[in-house]
Amino acid sequence: MFPINSEMITGIALIFLSILFVYAGLINHDWARILLVDYVMIAIGGGFLALGIWTRRNYKKEKTEEPSHH
């Protein structure tokens, strides 16, 4: 099972929503006015997705490291 965290969910949701907005902008002239904002939302969603992957990897490393006894 692939563990998923809240940053990954946020990133996926933003990317999906942005793709829908880009598609709406290609069809409707009014939605085409905000295409630049859609691309910014895709970048932010990608950042959240990358942050979620990075957090997951660091959490996995912390769990597998053995505690040091002094």
12-20: long-range contacts, CB 8 A cutoff, minimum separation 24? 12/45, 12/49, 13/45, 14/41, 14/42, 14/44, 14/45, 14/48, 15/42, 15/45, 15/46, 15/49, 17/41, 17/45, 18/42, 18/45
Domain ranges of the chain: 6-61
pLDDT tens, position by position, 16-55: 999 999 999 999 999 899 999 999 999 999 999 999 999 9
This prediction has a pTM of 0.78
Residues making up the chain, counted from first to last? 70
Q: How many CB atoms lie within 10 A of CB 8?
A: 19
Predicted confidence (pLDDT) at residue 60 exceeds the cutoff of 80: no
